[in-house]
Structure 1
Amino acid sequence: MDEKDTNRLEAFSDGVFAVAITLLVLDIKFSPFEPGGGLMDDWTLWQVIRHQGPTLFAFVTSFVTIGVMWLNHHRVFKHIKRTDTTLLFLNILLLMIIVFIPVPTALLAEYITAPRYHTAAILYGITFFVMATCFNLIWRYASHNGRLLGRKVDVHEVNKISRQYAFGPLVYVISIALALFNTPLTMVFNFLLAVFFALPEFPRPRRKQSDPFVESDTIAE
């Protein structure tokens, strides 16, 4: 398949990411009315907003994580120039997890202040573990021996992405383990993971001008 098909895949994926990231905000609800129907005074309204803190924290964490996943999706598809049925299926699997994220986010927001209960945090961690696994499958499948990469790619950039993604599923297993003991810490840990995956590695020295690219079939796994 040609590059046009890859662009269609990216456009469809962008739409799903946009829907998922929008759905997150639906769980943030502020009612400015007293039980009797009148407007709350400033102090009462601030208390209502304060009680929404866990929901806002869950929203920010999941929003940043989905945003970073979109950033990385764009990053890998700068190198992936062809598609096949397997890649399309793996991408659909990833998008299914992305659009599911608002569900465990809403559930965790309800339980984040209940330290005795851990199921919501475990489900949250499992969701991100599966997401990271899907991302790895997409990249490993596409980059293996340059299978679906462009005819000329920067081998250092490809290997850099492979190294960074290799830790994804493992660190989310740690997140699931943390969820067994401390739900708020799980949220903080997931937020820090999102920040980590948003950061590029330190740049390597530039290759010689005479050999800036490597043919895709020479890429080392």
Structure 2
Amino acid sequence: MLRKATPERLSAFSDGVFAVLITVLVLDLRPPEHPTFVALLSLWPTWLSYAVSYLFIAIVWVNHHYLMRYATEATHRLLWFNFAHLFSMSLLPLATAWMAVSELAPQPVAFYAAVFFLVNATYICLIWELVGPGSGNEAPIPGRKIMRFRAIVTLCFFGAAAAIALRYPLVGLGICVLCLIGYLRPEPTYGKPLD
């Protein structure tokens, strides 16, 4: 018999996907060919790509958990928005690996920023479903506004980062990293505090 989807089950399933993504990400790491620190340092694009992606997954996971606290039932819309969000996250290992092997070439970095854009766009869908107008949850209105504003602003920055990376890849990557800072604390000033 098929069990009814609940917010708790949806959150647990999502946790599993995030764990798999981190595992897939680390599988692409390779040791240097020579046993020297110089050889290790020559792999800096790989390590930088991995570090930024790991941080990104961690931040998205924390924010996802924070947002899912407002789910009272697993509606069809919530299920599909969540699957879209997880799909966009599933592109991160590919984007990370391509960016790393290309040694931060423009097009791979632009694709990487575009994945950030897609993840953020699907996160906005989750925000609208869970704390948007008419959602009927207990999220304070100022907190809802802050969450939506932050998501829309960073969406614009991720889009700009993708375009800028085509000419200046390190600048585009830097914009992505700076945007992550805005999500380090998922709870808006007026939001529901984390336990």
Structure-1-length-normalised TM-score: 0.77
Which protein shows a greater Rg?
A: 1
Query: Matched residues in 1 for 2:45 and 2:38: separation?
Result: 13
After TM superposition, what 4+ stretches of structure 1 lie above 6 angstroms from structure 2? none
Following TM superposition, by how much is the alpha carbon of 1:180 offset from its aligned partner in structure 2, in angstroms? 1.3
Q: Which residues in structure 2 correspond to 1:11-90 (within 5 Å)?
A: 11-31=12-32, 40=35, 45-90=36-81
Query: Matched residues in 1 for 2:92 and 2:7: separation?
Result: 25
Contact 1:20 1:99 in 2 (8 A): yes
Match of 2:85 in 1: 94
Query: Matched residues in 1 for 2:56 and 2:146: separation?
Result: 20
Contact 2:143 2:189 in 1 (8 A): no
Query: Matched residues in 1 for 2:124 and 2:188: separation?
Result: 21
Contact 1:27 1:55 in 2 (8 A): no
SS in 2 for 1:153: coil
Following TM superposition, by how much is the alpha carbon of 1:85 offset from its aligned partner in structure 2, in angstroms? 0.7
Identity level (%): 24
Contact 1:129 1:172 in 2 (8 A): yes
Match of 2:9 in 1: 8
Match of 1:109 in 2: 100
Match of 1:170 in 2: 156
SS in 2 for 1:167: helix
Query: Matched residues in 2 for 1:113 and 1:124: separation?
Result: 10
SS in 2 for 1:198: coil
Following TM superposition, by how much is the alpha carbon of 1:138 offset from its aligned partner in structure 2, in angstroms? 1.3
Q: Which residues in structure 2 correspond to 1:95-174 (within 5 Å)?
A: 95-114=86-105, 118-147=106-135, 149-150=136-137, 152-174=138-160
Contact 1:64 1:191 in 2 (8 A): no
Structure 1 residues 200 and 142 mapped into 2: Cα distance closer, same or farther (>3 Å)? closer
Structure 1 residues 203 and 141 mapped into 2: Cα distance closer, same or farther (>3 Å)? closer
Structure 1 residues 183 and 91 mapped into 2: Cα distance closer, same or farther (>3 Å)? same
Following TM superposition, by how much is the alpha carbon of 1:202 offset from its aligned partner in structure 2, in angstroms? 7.3
Query: Matched residues in 2 for 1:31 and 1:61: separation?
Result: 20
Runs of 5+ consecutive residues of structure 1 not aligned to the other structure: 35-39, 207-221
Residue type of the alignment partner of 2:158: Y
Runs of 5+ consecutive residues of structure 2 not aligned to the other structure: none
Query: Matched residues in 2 for 1:165 and 1:113: separation?
Result: 26
Following TM superposition, by how much is the alpha carbon of 1:7 offset from its aligned partner in structure 2, in angstroms? 0.6
Contact 2:66 2:186 in 1 (8 A): no
Contact 2:45 2:100 in 1 (8 A): yes
Number of aligned residue pairs: give it: 189
SS in 2 for 1:197: coil
Residue type of the alignment partner of 1:146: G
Structure-2-length-normalised TM-score: 0.86
Contact 2:143 2:188 in 1 (8 A): no
Query: Matched residues in 2 for 1:179 and 1:201: separation?
Result: 30
Query: Matched residues in 2 for 1:123 and 1:202: separation?
Result: 29
Query: Matched residues in 1 for 2:68 and 2:92: separation?
Result: 22
Residue type of the alignment partner of 1:47: V
Contact 2:146 2:188 in 1 (8 A): no
